[in-house]
């Protein structure tokens, strides 16, 4: 998982209406084993998170400037550090307007997975734990709690740039207590929900069932197709990616295409 750029900033903010204080980092983090482990653990925690939504950018505007800044970074007008400063300053302002928000460390990472470019954005918090020192004493220890992600998003940059019809190149974690807790974070990114996950899942499963029935498949062939669908859906879930179901069935001289919009299968 090659890392192109990665940086972390800090915002101090309590959910009591006090001003949010930004502590920006001036330079990118060096790519190292530590940053690679951090990103790998972040992706693992993000992929395992239930209740994600899928969407697309609002048109760039004064209310939603993030995608415009991102475009300027990608076309080389600004560098990654400058882009992250613009973005985190905007997040700071939105935090001040939200009484429900708390601060933390804001991670921006541009990386590649296979042939696809992604931008990960996450608000990270620490947890208190314990450690045993070299002197065999027990001492408190703080660590990033990547298993408790509440505000994070991932943008498929390749799909955004190359597929203008896509409505789900952004994935994001939805708030547990409705949308209010995560609203300001979605507004920060400028993301609008593009698909209704449960509805689209039902559409996919119904289309798949109708396809199998209409093709007059044997029991064994039907089982093979169901097994293939489940395996594929599980693999996509592990990657944190939506499921698309397209294909031609040319067995017995037939040429029927099953095609539905990509959806996120939910348990």
pLDDT in tens, 152-176: 999 999 999 999 888 889 999 886 6
The per-residue pLDDT for 121 is 98
The per-residue pLDDT for 242 is 62
> Torsions phi, psi of 238, nearest 5?
-65, -30
Same domain for 140 and 166? yes
Kindly calculate the radius of gyration of the chain based on its CA atoms and give it in whole angstroms.
21
Q: If we measure between CA atoms, which residue out of 100, 98, 76, 71 comes closest to residue 87?
A: 71
Same domain for 235 and 130? no
Same domain for 146 and 34? yes
Q: Which two tokens stand for residue 167?
A: 């409505």
Same domain for 231 and 171? no
Same domain for 39 and 134? yes
Q: Which domain holds residue 232?
A: 196-266
How many distinct structural domains can be found in the chain? 2
This prediction's pTM: 0.74
Beta bridge partners of 187: none
Q: How does pLDDT run across 121-161, given as a tens digit for each residue?
A: 999 998 888 889 898 889 888 888 887 888 999 999 999 99
Q: Which two tokens stand for residue 8?
A: 């972390």
Same domain for 211 and 185? no
Q: b/e string for 183-219 if b means 16 or more Cβ within 10 A? A: ebbbbbbbbebbbebeebbebbeeebeebbeebebee
């Amino acid at each position: 998982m090659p890392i192109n750029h990665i940086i972390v900033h800090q915002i101090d903010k309590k959910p009591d209406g006090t001003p949010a204080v930004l502590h920006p980092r001036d330079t990118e983090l060096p790519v190292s084993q530590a940053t690679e482990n951090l990103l790998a653990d972040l992706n693992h925690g993000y992929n395992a998170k239930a209740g994600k939504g899928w969407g697309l950018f609002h048109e760039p505007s004064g209310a939603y400037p993030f995608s415009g800044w991102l475009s300027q970074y990608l076309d080389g007008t600004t560098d990654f550090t400058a882009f992250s400063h613009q973005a985190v300053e905007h997040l700071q302002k939105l935090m001040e307007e939200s009484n429900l928000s708390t601060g933390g460390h804001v991670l921006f990472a541009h990386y590649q997975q296979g042939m696809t470019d992604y931008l990960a954005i996450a608000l990270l918090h620490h947890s208190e734990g314990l450690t045993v020192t070299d002197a065999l004493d027990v001492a408190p220890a703080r660590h990033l709690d990547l298993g408790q992600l509440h505000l994070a998003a991932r943008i498929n940059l390749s799909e955004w740039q190359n597929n203008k019809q896509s409505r789900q190149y952004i994935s994001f974690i939805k708030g547990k207590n409705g949308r209010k807790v995560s609203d300001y974070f979605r507004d920060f990114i400028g993301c609008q929900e593009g698909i209704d996950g449960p509805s689209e899942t039902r559409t996919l499963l119904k289309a798949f069932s109708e396809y199998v029935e209409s093709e007059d498949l044997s029991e064994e062939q039907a089982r093979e197709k169901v097994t293939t669908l489940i395996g594929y859906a599980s693999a996509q879930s592990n990657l944190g990616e939506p499921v698309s179901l397209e294909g031609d069935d040319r067995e017995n001289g037939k040429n029927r295409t099953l095609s539905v919009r990509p959806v996120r299968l939910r348990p």
